A and B are shown apart, each in its own frame.
Chain A
Amino acid sequence: MFDGRVLLKQVILLFWPLISTWVQGAEKIDSCQLQVLEMLSSLGSAGGKSAKPSFVSYVTPEEIKSEKEPSRKEKHPDLLPGEVVFCSASTVLKYTQDDLSQRGVFGVLLCTNFRVSFVSDEEPTEEMLFKNKLYGENDIPLSCVDNIYGDKRKLITGGLVKNKYPSKMIIHCKDLRVFQFSLSFSKEEDAKKIFQGIVHHCLEPKSLRCLFAFSYCENTSYPGSYTVENTSKKQTVMFDSVEDWTQDMKRTKGNCRVVSENSNFELSPKMLTAVAHNHLYSVKTEDLSDTLPTVQDILLSYNKFKQFFLIDNTTEFWMSDMKWFSSLDNCGWLDIIRQCLQKAVEVVESLEKENTNVLIMEEGGSDLCCVVSSLVQLMLDPYYRTLLGFQSLVQKEWVAGGHAFLDRSNHLHLKDKVESPVFLLFLECVWQLQQQHGPAFQFSETYLTVLSDSVHVPVFTTFLFNNDGHRDSLLRAESPHTQRSPLNCPTVWDWSVQFDCKAQDLFTNPLYTEKPKQDTSVRKSYRPRHLRQLSLPSSAFKTPPKKGFFKDEADNLKKILGVKRLSRWMLSPSSDSPQTSSSVREFYEAWQTKPLDYHGLLLPCLDGPSIRVWMQRYLRWIHDVQILGGGPVAMLSKVSEILGEVQELQRQLDRHGCTLTSNHKGARPRAKTAAAVIAARSSVRLSSSFPFVTSRNWAFKPAIPTSLLQSLMVTGMPGNLADREDDGGPESLV
């Protein structure tokens, strides 16, 4: 089963240095070791070989030229560096409401190497506060296109498009926007061209180098080129160098040694690191394949789930409203979220209560492993609940951890890749934690939503590759310059690429509880000792002697692991889920009785009502469910106001030359949010879709649900209660 040549399963070892520190205390430090493992992998074909360039530009150079005629050029959106228009059509009608009302605006529809863009003939509306610099509200990055439908809502698939084109085209986006265009007013030739162009560029297989990032980066000179000088680089730990790993070990007091054998991706091009814990014989294995859904299950469930939000017809929306809960239940998405969180809690329990190291594994080792291991760390380590800490976590567990972003998002539309929203699933889980324990997180819900959107913007290196080796080789190969300087693409963490400072202010949570410490540097001030006191029950745990037990040789470790895995398989083929859940239940209840510490261990409540739908992400574009003047922003704006006042008062006190004893440093970064929200409030109507949709143009009229009449089925009730009179018996008085 485990013969070393054919790799059936890859294993990721979750290294959790914090735990060892918590449970062992400082005196044990010297005896630990770190292994960076080359992965037990001879790597299948997975992203290693780059596909042969199969992309043929749909338009000829002449056509591109013709697009640049002055008359049409003024209709272009502001093109990004390296962006080229492929084709366009004028007098396209973009419906503003649903397809039953035939209202809309006319404009030009374009397809570039980056996006599908609609430029309205009407005067552009005023600037939005929360404007994305890369694409506007009428732009769809090519990789963000999810599905395209033609007349009679017929799904368009690539390759089948011949000479026909539909009069109406509906585009569903991965960020859940829905666009509806009518092509029937355009010139036939143009309409055909734009339709075929969009279908070709959005749905048909292409090669990686056709992704916009390459053309964009060649034409952009990034300041500092993402080297150490860059501020963002300084803050978000990228885990792309030995130093980063060493730093993190120091931070978490893990005493391990970083091995850089794989620095040139020789051992495994896919795997950068797996980090083995020091006393491996007390390891507990968790095979996620046994208990969690597969990536295919995840995709299937999400595909059902997202349909509830891709609304192109108000009537249907309200029709579906009555069956909302059971539909939600049946698609299973919330259940998958719950299962992932539960698994993470189980792992935390082993780490915290039993002091066992946990080995998380699955086939491939880079999907649910990433989800679970990052969730575990999020629950245990408050550093990862800060904005930079979270980014470092994603960098460590996902980017360096080898999650196949490229395959999973399937930007290239290749048939042999398994697309699956695994990263989104992770963000969903984070959102659940954040909902339940708001003040523990420095970043906001908006931040998570934006991050989930950014996956589909093909500009950031973060999400374009399958692993570090893949990235490295491709960026080198694509570099127009010498072999030595690879192409510089921005990472998603450089938020200034997408948003200006004001908009970025909305990424922080104004109610975040800073750690009550004078030290401003979160990372340096981090002392696990403090946490240990508040963390769970901790038994008198004896660290087993381990000196010399563990050698550097990867082979040795492999052997040990192999044995572990085999024995587990034979002993318990599948864990009994009810049992697991009752143990998790007890663990949660025990934790719940302790005073809550936002800088200690956090556990999610997993009971039915506690797992919710991420309203902001999923409902933001649906007009009928916008709460005008309400939603979380109403709370945020009041909080911001109070914070603003608190700060003003603090300033006054400072002016008077006196300082309060308590720590007020925390208030400073929060003020940003305050300013941003207040600025927004003064210009537009805020709604529950804030900041994604501002309700400037909306009529101030409530959405009255239609189809109420057919809704309630009360037949089949005992005694047919519905037909009874309201007042049954004779009136009896007091």
Chain B
Amino acid sequence: MNKQFWYGIISHWSLSYSIHVFCNSVDSTSTSRSDRSTHAAKTPYAMSSDNVSTSTEFSPELRVLRDSNKEEPQLLPKESVQDMAKDVTYICPYIGALRGTLTVTNYRLFFRCMDREPAFVLDLPLGVVSRVEKIGGASSRGEVSYGLVCKDIRNLRFAHKQMEDSLRKSIFEILMKFAFPVSNGLPIFAFEYGQVYPENGWKVYDAQAEYKRQGIPNESWRITKVNDHYEVCDTYPSNLVVPVNIPDEELKRVAAFRAKGRIPVLSWIHPESQATVTRCSQPMVGVNGKRSKDDEKYLQAIMDANAQSHKLFIFDARPSVNAAANKMKGGGYESEDAYQNAELVFLDIHNIHVMRESLRKLKEVVYPNIEESHWLSNLESTHWLEHIKLILAGALRIADKVESGKTSVVVHCSDGWDRTAQLTSLAMLMLDGHYRTIRGFQVLLEKEWLSFGHRFQLRIGHGDKNHTDADRSPVFLQFIDCVWQITRQFPAAFEFNEYFLVTILDHMYSCLFGTFMCNSEQQRVKEELPKKTVSLWAYINSQLEEFTNPLYVNYSNHVLFPVVSMRHLELWVGYYIRWNPRMRPQEPVHQRYKELLAKRAELQKRVEELQRDVTNRSASSTERAGSPTRSITPVQTFV
């Protein structure tokens, strides 16, 4: 019965593949599932017969089908309709022109075309809109046309009749207002959305607990309170781990020598060798080659904290040319003369501007259609995967030095919040199986990205209409792409699935949750985000089965060394090309694994029932045929 139902859903989805736009209404009780189903339709793991059959509260497809005659979206708490226009044309690049009703709320854009069976629905959070522009004047048919450029690799185009009443604002002017609340003095929707979830997602990361998990404090490392009020460094978290023998006063002097006061602090420590990953910003060397005794002593202390090695590797994420150019602006890199026993390695990763340009080109290549000829050459010309490769290669070298070389490493770029975050978090993902679990990954993001001040607000430009802002850059997207590449190479090593990664990206843009708001911990505290907004993790952790990889094997102690050859790198079709219905698999592969697991569960249940029967009937012989009811212990592998 479940199965039948299931197929019903699938066919509904695939028939309505035109519904290709939603990402956000995530409220588990009141939202339409259509958004989720679209994800599901292109992210293999998401469709779960389990889920559909067991947790009815999370499967509002039925409601969607029932309500499909409604023209309005299911509203979230505190969401309100701002404007509505009939006879708007959506020019779909895959289907063609569709005429329907457009609704704009303070959270989303909702378009529904009733002429088709099933109805065509476009449901997108305004947060993904990067810019809205009027295309040309009124056409011969008296229509004006608007283009929406979105942050999630698509563009939307609408047309509607020229208003006879020119005094009235067009729906697109309303849309502009709510798409860019920051520019219009309005609150971001995350501050209004008040959905209550079983778990408080803001509690997922507790810095002290995480350091405790790593065995810190220990004889070499301590947690300092020097930055409690963000006075030493306003872009760093309040909890910092530093070498035991460096007093707080010296830390302040080190901070003076590091860009933005971002001193080297511990990110991760190897449980056996005590080799560490530390992160910081560039030293303020300048053209005159300034030195700091405190900084030199500090790095020496980091090296000394690891008895296994008498060397320290400093990984500068930048190309050496750029690192040198920074000297002109007072920055630079550690000279090997000043830092004895330290070896400096440049990782050649380019800056945020190069990455932004690369993504722009990638979008041209993949959206809306893929050009048939020379796909691979076109892909190569975007350099996107080359950047991915360089980032992965850098992280691999770091992980290798720590794991194989038992050597501590210091990682920095210029400011230490973009490339540095990419490198340390990826290296930690390779080194520590905990971060490959769903909750562990959340901790990793909270720690390396959010608490260490990756400037999400600036890089994404939440609610800001200034789409040409040079601070915008897909740094975090690149990181998630790298994670996806590793999951491709190690399909059983991660507890989470592709849908999890896509969901994180979608909600980074959606502005529904507070998680990716602001630029630093200090700002988040000041804005009282934990109090005023919902964390994305609350939503995700309320339906973990959606995000779980059925093939996960917990090899917690294994280090993953991905192969960083282009031969093994691939464009993430499930993210970048997901709007193209042709590229969507009809049945996600992982569906089959889930079926298998379901079958196992079913059989287990049967066996248990039978055993109970047998025991009841013949109480004398209590023979237990036990093995399969045990949980499986992962077989020893050598990774």
A residues contacting B by CB (< 8 A) are 318, 321-326, 328-330, 334, 436, 438-439, 511, 513, 581, 585, 588-589, 592-596, 605, 607-610, 612-613, 615, 619, 624-632, 634-635, 637-639, 641-643, 645-646, 648-650, 652-653, 655-656, 658, 660, 678, 681-682, 684-686, 688, 700-705, 708-709, 711-712, 714, 717-718, 721-729, 731-734
Whole-angstrom CA separation of A279 from B603 in the bound complex:
52
Q: Are B607 and A595 in contact (CB under 8 A)?
A: no
Whole-angstrom CA separation of A612 from B376 in the bound complex:
10
Q: Are B566 and A608 in contact (CB under 8 A)?
A: no
Q: Are A592 and B581 in contact (CB under 8 A)?
A: yes
Q: Are B523 and A326 in contact (CB under 8 A)?
A: no
> Hey, what's the 0/1 contact readout for B602-639 against A, CB within 8 Å counting as 1?
01101100100010000000000101100010011111
Q: Are A645 and B600 in contact (CB under 8 A)?
A: yes
Residue in contact with B396 in the complex, picked from A615, A629, A704, A711, CB distance below 8 Å: A704
Q: Are B414 and A702 in contact (CB under 8 A)?
A: no
Q: Are B491 and A726 in contact (CB under 8 A)?
A: no
Residues in chain B near residue A323, CB distance under 8 A: 380
Q: Are B582 and A655 in contact (CB under 8 A)?
A: no
Whole-angstrom CA separation of A294 from B358 in the bound complex:
38
Within 8 A of A (CB), among B555-604: 555, 558, 560-568, 570-571, 573, 577, 580-587, 589, 592-593, 596-597, 599-600, 603-604
Q: How many residues on B have C-beta within 8 angstroms of the other chain's C-beta atoms?
A: 111
Least CB separation from A581: chain B residue: B372
Q: Are A596 and B380 in contact (CB under 8 A)?
A: no
Residues in chain A near residue B518, CB distance under 8 A: 733-734
> Hey, what's the 0/1 contact readout for B463-507 against A, CB within 8 Å counting as 1?
010000111000000000000000001111100000000000000
Q: Are A609 and B563 in contact (CB under 8 A)?
A: no
Interface centre among A610, A642, A645 (most CB of B within 10 A): A645
Within 8 A of A (CB), among B281-334: 319, 322, 325, 329
Residue in contact with B551 in the complex, picked from A329, A594, A609, A635, CB distance below 8 Å: A635
Least CB separation from A605: chain B residue: B582
Q: Are A592 and B17 in contact (CB under 8 A)?
A: yes
B residues contacting A by CB (< 8 A) are 7, 10-11, 14-15, 17, 182, 188, 319, 322, 325, 329, 347-348, 350-354, 356-357, 370-372, 374-377, 379-380, 383, 385-387, 389-390, 393, 396-397, 399-400, 404, 413-415, 418, 457-458, 462, 464, 469-471, 489-493, 517-519, 523, 527, 551-553, 555, 558, 560-568, 570-571, 573, 577, 580-587, 589, 592-593, 596-597, 599-600, 603-604, 606-607, 610, 614, 625, 627-628, 632, 635-639
Residues in chain B near residue A627, CB distance under 8 A: 489-490, 562-563, 568
Least CB separation from A330: chain B residue: B377
Residue in contact with A632 in the complex, picked from B383, B415, B491, B561, CB distance below 8 Å: B491
Residue in contact with A592 in the complex, picked from B322, B376, B377, B582, CB distance below 8 Å: B582
Residue in contact with B375 in the complex, picked from A588, A595, A609, CB distance below 8 Å: A609
Whole-angstrom CA separation of A723 from B321 in the bound complex:
9
Interface centre among A646, A656, A727 (most CB of B within 10 A): A727
* Contact A709 to B489, CB < 8 A, known contacts A645-B600, A685-B638, A734-B182: no
Whole-angstrom CA separation of A634 from B596 in the bound complex:
16
Report A399 CB to chain B, min CB distance, Å: 33
Residue in contact with B351 in the complex, picked from A631, A722, A731, CB distance below 8 Å: A722
Least CB separation from A704: chain B residue: B397
Residues in chain B near residue A581, CB distance under 8 A: 372
Least CB separation from A728: chain B residue: B470
Q: Are B567 and A641 in contact (CB under 8 A)?
A: no
Q: Are A608 and B582 in contact (CB under 8 A)?
A: no
Whole-angstrom CA separation of A622 from B629 in the bound complex:
41
Q: Are A733 and B519 in contact (CB under 8 A)?
A: yes
Whole-angstrom CA separation of A334 from B377 in the bound complex:
12
Least CB separation from B572: chain A residue: A609
Q: Are A625 and B606 in contact (CB under 8 A)?
A: no
Report A609 CB to chain B, min CB distance, Å: 5
Q: Can you give 18 contacting A-B residue pairs, CB < 8 Å? A: A326-B376, A585-B582, A607-B370, A634-B493, A635-B551, A645-B628, A649-B628, A704-B400, A708-B393, A712-B348, A712-B383, A712-B387, A714-B354, A722-B351, A731-B458, A732-B464, A734-B523, A734-B527
Q: Are A624 and B551 in contact (CB under 8 A)?
A: no
Whole-angstrom CA separation of A726 from B565 in the bound complex:
27
Q: Are A652 and B628 in contact (CB under 8 A)?
A: yes
Residues in chain B near residue A685, CB distance under 8 A: 637-639
Least CB separation from B12: chain A residue: A595
Residue in contact with A324 in the complex, picked from B10, B566, B589, CB distance below 8 Å: B566
Least CB separation from A684: chain B residue: B638
Residues in chain B near residue A646, CB distance under 8 A: 596, 599-600, 603
Q: Are B566 and A325 in contact (CB under 8 A)?
A: yes
Q: Are B562 and A682 in contact (CB under 8 A)?
A: no
Q: Are A645 and B632 in contact (CB under 8 A)?
A: yes
Report A55 CB to chain B, min CB distance, Å: 40
Residue in contact with B14 in the complex, picked from A325, A330, A594, A610, CB distance below 8 Å: A594
Q: Are A712 and B583 in contact (CB under 8 A)?
A: no
Q: Are A619 and B567 in contact (CB under 8 A)?
A: yes
Q: Are A629 and B607 in contact (CB under 8 A)?
A: no
Report B517 CB to chain A, min CB distance, Å: 7
Whole-angstrom CA separation of A729 from B470 in the bound complex:
7
Interface centre among B371, B492, B635 (most CB of A within 10 A): B492
